[in-house]
Chains A and B, each alone.
Chain A
Amino acid sequence: MSSKNSLKDKIRKPNASQAFFNSYDANDNTKDHKTEHNINNDKGVSIKDNSSNNTTIDNENTIKVYVKNDDVVNDNEYLRRLATGKKAVKKKPKKVFTSFYMDPDLASEVDKIAARGEKGDKSKLINQGIRTLLEGYGVIEKKS
């Protein structure tokens, strides 16, 4: 209902009342709007990271993703194999480059695990960790 209304409002210029209601719709789907914004924004700078995948970063270091959600690869199975010492099958997903500070204890644990694997496994582990956390918060949908 409300998404149909906001479409209608895009066709016709919204009046003040519609703008008011739309502002509440926007609150409801902040996630969707952000994604849309990022996809439409082409000011990001394209760079190549270590694993030769296309990524974009803007001036303020917020991440611009040109990758559809469906393309995000679930690394769960790969990591489980790696952690339990089984043969891990390599995958080449699209990624974005970013940087952040880690707690020392976590950093050393992550380094230890990554040392057993190969290039890119550190990123996979971090991604999986955050993915699990955000799924738990209900911020992103669970990947099957």
Chain B
Amino acid sequence: MFTIFINYIYVVMLSAIKSYILLYILKGVSILTATIITFGISKGGCSKSTSSGITSYLLSQEEKVLAIDMDGQGNLTSFLTGEYDICNVFEEKTVLEAILEGDARPYIIRIQDNLDLIPSNDFLATLPRQMYSKRLKLDALQKALAPIIEDYDWIIIDTPPSLSEQTILPLSTYSEAGSHVVIMFDGSMFAYYAIPKFIEMVEGARDRYNANLNTAGILFSLIDARAKENEAMLESIEEEYPHLKFNTVIKRKASTRRLPIAGFNGNPELKNALEYYIPFVEELKKRVQQKQPQR
């Protein structure tokens, strides 16, 4: 009788130790998962693609980054690859196929050390229809990324200026390490009214698919130093969305605008072009509390 009791204690202790070890391992895995940053606003031309491209580049200087182009315009794809004939060059090798097949692995292309890209092209327009016929749900991008999410420190996603699958899929993509949104704002009236609508998308995705989704902040970009309404806009945002505005403001710069022509490598005005983005990325990292480089 006594030995049975001892045995019982032994088994209980052993299973407790086992589950503790398992917990520890799982915690370790969670640290080794990518933090997702989605750039968005349903107003065109607010510098989503430019900002997501530059952010990917800057983060890849120290950590592993996967950039994903969710806009059929393929601006991020062209920006990072220098390729503008995207329909031919990336024919059936895009994020569209990755989502429909539920596996991103065959569609990742290497840009440079530590920087990969899943490209897109105009055929991404067929995504909603094809998702419907394949009965895919809004977690389809998450499923496609599952096999590789632990291979990166950061996943940076560019979205189109619309309420659509292309925008909602990234927002619905869960990561243990956190999933964050940077809302782009160009200081215009149209963009101002697009902000609350984008926040509604974030809330919808958070409620239903992605409890870990968080708004990292509102990034002012393309600010024209001469526009006298800037101050009023900045204050309105500050009052309406306390603490959401990034302290860094991206000012309009010709060298930044030329980046897609000149590229990053061997670009003599690179430092100038990235001037405002370097402090932005530092602030972003702090806001999302990325622990340490993960390799």
Contacts and interface: CB of A to CB of B under 8 A. Distances in A.
A and B together in one complex: yes
Interface of A: 1-2, 5, 15-18, 20-21, 24, 27-28
A15 B198 CA distance: 11
A2 B208 contact: yes
B163 A17 contact: yes
Contacts of B106: none
Contact of A17 (B132, B135, B137, B200): B200
A24 B138 contact: yes
Nearest to A25: B208
Contacts of B293: none
A16 B137 contact: no
Contacts of B135: 27
B229 interface: no
B138 A18 contact: no
Given A21-B205, A24-B138, A27-B132, 15 more contacts: A1-B207, A5-B208, A15-B200, A16-B163, A17-B200, A17-B201, A17-B204, A18-B200, A18-B204, A20-B168, A20-B201, A21-B138, A21-B207, A24-B137, A27-B135
B29 to A, nearest CB: 25
Nearest to B171: A17
Interface residues of B, number: 14
A105 B90 CA distance: 54
B257 interface: no
Contacts of B203: 17
25 contacts: A1-B207, A1-B208, A2-B208, A5-B208, A15-B197, A16-B163, A16-B200, A17-B201, A17-B203, A17-B204, A18-B200, A18-B204, A20-B163, A20-B201, A20-B204, A21-B138, A21-B204, A21-B205, A21-B207, A21-B208, A24-B137, A24-B138, A27-B132, A27-B135, A28-B137
Contacts of B138: 21, 24
Contacts of B208: 1-2, 5, 21
Interface in B180-214: 197, 200-201, 203-205, 207-208
Contact of B197 (A2, A16, A21): A16
B160 to A, nearest CB: 14
A6 to B, nearest CB: 10
A136 to B, nearest CB: 19
A21 B208 CA distance: 8
Point out which of A2, A21, A27 has the most chain B C-beta atoms below 10 A from its C-beta: A21
B83 to A, nearest CB: 32
A137 to B, nearest CB: 14
Contacts of B204: 17-18, 20-21
Nearest to B200: A17
A5 B200 CA distance: 14
A17 B200 CA distance: 6
A61 B36 CA distance: 51
Contacts of B207: 1, 5, 21
B122 to A, nearest CB: 22
Contacts of A2: 208
Contacts of A28: 137
Nearest to A18: B204
Contacts of B168: 20-21
Contacts of A15: 197, 200
